[in-house]
Amino acid sequence: LGNVGDRGNALSVSSMTSTTSSKPTRPATPEHVAIIMDGNGRWAGKRGAIASVGHKAGIDALQRTVEGCVELGVRFLSVFALSTENSINRAAEEVTFLVQLVRSVVSDRLDKLHKEGVRLRFVGNLEGIGDPHFMKIVREAEILTAANDTLTLTVALNFSGTDDIVRSTRAVAQRVRDGSIDVADIDAAMISDSLSMGYIAPENREPDLLIRTGGERRVSNFLLFELAYTELYFSDVLWP
């Protein structure tokens, strides 16, 4: 799986059995993998380079990971590109560069991804990025690839798991206020359907495996609702 941690074992999970109420049996190769791509800046710093060099290398690593997922039969790949917290705390020029890099990569590699059967989807507060051209490019990419089903690649950008839950809760509360549902109708499935990942079928929505590179042992506000029963794999290797 690209250059993610201990590549020999990252996807060789002996049992992907979920502990949800239905307890589905998972195949040895997970259908849905999530990755927190952490370490670009530190990787570049160790080589005497600026952070942008690491981000460029990180995009190349993601491309290799996409190819690896297609080869292995992974059907869903969800990656954490930029958290809302990092978009606030990082230097403005670094965030701007990262957004421009994603924009240019989508433009340059879209045809290749489309031919490979990859469906692209972006989640997060994209409007908050403040780049109309970026919004136009990603929405066009989503429309073009909407029918592809070899691999669904979800890119979380300016994303916050807590904010996602808050927005979902508000949407459900509005339905109660409008009288379309009763309070007693609210359940976990309804909340899940209202989240950013709600566009994926319920049986594939929750990642089977989360991989985080870079040495940290936390999920950093990524897909908080969906990761409840996900297997976690932490690697000290820096992305890319």
Q: Any idea what DSSP says for residue 38?
A: -
State the greatest distance between any 2 C-alpha atoms of the chain, in Å, as a whole number. Answer: 60
In order of 15, 100, 198, the CA distances from 226 in angstroms are: 19, 29, 10
| 148 classed as catalytic | no
| 86 classed as catalytic | yes
Catalytic residue among 3, 6, 40, 86: 86
Direct distance between the N- and C-terminal alpha carbons of the chain, in angstroms, rounded to an integer: 11
Are 178 and 165 within 8 A, CB to CB?
no
**Cα 128 → chain centroid:** 18
Catalytic residue among 3, 38, 158, 208: 38
Long-range pairs for 102-110: beta carbons < 8 A, 24 or more residues apart = 102/59, 102/134, 102/155, 102/157, 103/131, 103/133, 103/134, 103/137, 103/138, 105/59, 106/137, 106/138, 106/141, 107/137, 109/63, 110/141, 110/144, 110/145
Sequence letter at residue 4: V
Residues forming the active site: 38, 86
